[in-house]
Amino acid sequence: MGFKRYLGGTADFLTGNIFDFDKRGRPNDPGNNQGEKKGNTKRKEVRRKNFPDQMGYPIARGQSERTGDSLLIQCRTYIAPKTGITGEPALLRTKSAGPYAGTEYGKGQFVVNASGNQAGTFKKTFVPGTVKMSNLGASDRGSEKGVKDVFSVELPIPQDINDSNTVTWGDDNMNIFMLAGLSAANSVLGSPGESFEAAKEFLTNKGIDLSALDAETQNAVRASVAGKAIDVMGGQIRPNSAIGRASGMILNSNLELLFDSVNLRTFPFSINFSPRTPEESQMVKHIIRAFKSSMAAKKGIDEAGGQGGVFLRAPDVYAIKYLHNGTQHPFLNSFKDCALTGMTVNYTNAGTYTTYEDGTPVSIKMNLTFKELNPIYHEDYTNSIPGVGF
């Protein structure tokens, strides 16, 4: 048997293992994927890397000769955001005697897990007053264990670099009746035992003492109430219309600008390539291919081919920094981890289609658009952030 396998293995070697003479299977056969045990259908993430781990352009100023200012882009695997509750751990005790989760307990007894992987162990909780929310964004988890660096690219610093920080503020208005209703609602929430009917009457203007108001204001209030009543019946009359027609006045809207939301920053970069040697042509090809492949979504965890089955994994993300003589730039802005949301490559940057003998275009322009994964907050401006900050 061994001799036959020896001859079969030799024949497979000479024929490229097309016929499987030794009956050990071929590399592309199901269950025989490069060292995986036969029948093991668990899918492993396949990283098709056709480029070096460290790349730089131009080659004359690569990883070994860092002088002047440059742009460093490090590609790393994406780690999803994590939200949870943290606090000082404690064991759960009953506050009174009686049934708990189907089991009878006395007062002050420790509660035991009845089922699951932790059956027989004590239930855990948090010490009152120590509970807090843990909300780690994707960019906050970049330094955690499990984040893998895929590649790094050092490029000439772009000629047009800038940053733009924005937050959204919006107009907001609230007239006197809205403010009165809000005040009544707050008093009810603050004192639930007090009469809700009193607040309800106040909200519907039934509880307002008009005798304490001047004549014009009384007319305005009556007009507003009348307009509201007609509006309920389907007349669609605005309070300001009713008051304006009755008294020539309108309600003060108390217009004010209020904070609304935070925004994510976007950074466009434009890089020009003019390869001067075959080695630089190959390096430019590697850089373009690396960005294209890393920004693409990955197929899911199942064995389905084609479109990738039920799930798709997120593309890689990028850590960006400006360098000055090989270290963090002492002045320019910093970045949080970014996603590459857009990439365009112009292979006729010279204005016409011109290539070298090997087919490499003589001038290439690569435009990259990055967007930060998380907003910038006041607390991010720590002393460890160099230069102007984010």
pLDDT-wise least confident of 23-37, 120-134, 209-223: 23-37
Neighbours of 182 (CB within 10 A): 12
Kind plus residue range of the DSSP H or E element containing 289:
helix 278-294
For residue 120, give both structure tokens: 């027989």
Q: How many domains does the chain have?
A: 4
Mean pLDDT of the chain: 75
386 in a domain, yes or no? no
Residue 49 within any structural domain of the chain: no
Give the closest residue to 44 by CA, choosing from 299, 316, 318.
Answer: 299
Q: What does the DSSP 8-state code read for residue 47?
A: -
User: Kindly report the CA angle at 354 between 350 and 355, in degrees rounded to 5?
Assistant: 120
Q: Are 135 and 83 in contact (CB under 8 A)?
A: yes
pLDDT at 212 over 60: no
Lowest mean pLDDT among 50-64, 248-262, 263-277: 50-64
Predicted local distance difference test score (pLDDT) of residue 191: 52
pLDDT of 20 above 70:
no
Query: Are 229 and 376 in the same domain?
Result: no
Higher model confidence: residue 140 or residue 296?
Answer: 296
Cβ(150)–Cβ(319) below 8 Å: no
Q: Are residues 152 and 282 in the same domain?
A: yes
State yes or no: pLDDT of 386 exceeds 80. Answer: yes
Q: Does 286 share its domain with 162?
A: yes
> Where is mean pLDDT largest: 37-41, 120-124, 243-247, 318-322?
318-322
Residue pair 337/144 in contact (Cβ under 8 Å)? The answer is: no
Listed in sequence order, the DSSP H helices in 151-255 are 176-190, 196-203, 215-232, 239-247
Q: Among 171, 174, 172, 168, which residue's Cα sits nearest to residue 260?
A: 168
Higher pLDDT, 137 or 110: 110
Do residues 127 and 241 both lie within one domain?
Answer: no
Q: Is residue 48 part of a domain?
A: no
Q: Is residue 33 included in any domain, yes or no?
A: yes
pLDDT value of residue 287: 96
pLDDT > 70 fraction of the chain, expressed in percent and rounded: 62
> For residue 111, is it within any domain?
yes
The pLDDT of residue 177 is 65
The reply to whether 253 and 296 lie within a common domain is no
Q: How confident is the model at residue 85 (pLDDT cuts 50, 70, 90)?
A: confident
Q: How far is CA 138 from CA 25, 72, 163, 264, 288, in A?
A: 43, 20, 21, 13, 25
In this structure, the answer to whether residues 208 and 248 fall within a common structural domain is: yes
Q: Cα dist. 297→98, 292, 314, 343 in Å?
A: 53, 10, 5, 14
In a domain, 47, yes or no: no
Q: Which two tokens stand for residue 221?
A: 């209030």
CA dist., res. 156 & res. 57, Å (int): 7
Say if residue 293's pLDDT is above 90. Answer: yes
Predicted TM-score (pTM) of this structure: 0.68
- Residue 155 inside a domain? The answer is yes
Residue 209 CA to residue 212 CA, distance in Å, equals 6
Does residue 385 lie in a domain region?
no
Domain enclosing residue 7, as ranges: 1-42
Those residues whose C-beta lies under 8 Å from the C-beta of residue 301, and which sit 6 or more positions away, are 43, 309, 311, 313
Amino acid 143: pLDDT? 63
Residues 300 and 350 both lie in one domain: yes
362 band by pLDDT with thresholds 50, 70 and 90: very high
- How much is the pLDDT for 357? 92
- pLDDT, one tens digit per residue, over 222-269 is 665 555 555 544 456 666 776 676 667 777 788 899 999 999 999 999
Query: pLDDT tens for residues 321-330?
Result: 999 988 899 9
Residues 35 and 125 in one domain: no
**In this structure, are 213 and 150 located in the same domain?**
no
Rounded to 10°, the helix 176-190/196-203 angle is: 170
Please check whether residues 245 and 276 belong to one and the same domain: no
DSSP state of 226: H
Domain-ending residue, one of 241, 260, 279? 260
- Same domain for 143 and 224, yes or no, is no
What local confidence, expressed as pLDDT, does residue 41 receive? 42
Regarding whether 267 and 256 lie in a shared domain, the answer is no
| Burial of 291 (C-beta count, 10 Å sphere; 0-12/13-18/19+) | buried
Q: How many residues does the chain have?
A: 390
